[in-house]
Amino acid sequence: MSSSQLAEFIGNHPILVLAFVGIGLALLANELSRFTRGYKGITPAELTRLVNRENALVVDVSPIADFEKGHIAGSRHLPMSQFDPSHRLFAKAGDVPVVLVCRSGVTAGQAASRLVKAGRSKVFVLEGGIAAWQQAELPLTRGRE
């Protein structure tokens, strides 16, 4: 495509071009925010390795009804409505990695940001949440365990 054809396309389709530029900028901003958020997103396989190798603390911030429907074995429940970075769960954990989990990963990301702002290092979020865990065909535990 020549520069005159590009200029003609832009002139004929300004809304389409603006939409394309806007989406591109939004994607770029989203990717850049991953580097500045202070926590790392991990896969189900990485979560399993963290638990097995570093005895990571897995905290599910889902509402109790969702937690009881299915959660990662050994995870602790601390609903977002009661979430506090100074909670005894985190004090007892010392310097071990903390992995936050929810249904989709969004609420866990908010909790992770709060932990990072409170000065905690080694904070992780299960990307895709419990849905990603299930998609990886990993087991869930039911009840309040």
- Joined tokens for residue 67: 């937690």
Taking the C-alpha atoms of residue 109 and residue 107, their distance in angstroms, rounded to an integer, is: 5
pLDDT of 33: 64
Structure tokens at 80: 């977002």
End-to-end CA distance of the chain: 62
26 and 59 in a common domain: no
Confidence of residue 32 (pLDDT cuts 50, 70, 90): low
pLDDT at residue 144 in the model:
72
- 53 & 78 share domain: yes
Question: Are 65 and 120 in a shared domain?
Answer: yes
DSSP letter for 75, please: P
Render pLDDT for 89-135 as a digit per residue (tens, 0 to 9). 888 888 899 999 999 888 999 999 999 999 888 999 999 999 999 99
Q: Structure pTM?
A: 0.76
**Is there a single domain that holds both residue 15 and residue 85?**
no
The yes-or-no verdict on residue 31 having pLDDT over 70 is no
- Give pLDDT, residue 36: 62
CATH code of the domain covering residue 114:
3.40.250.10
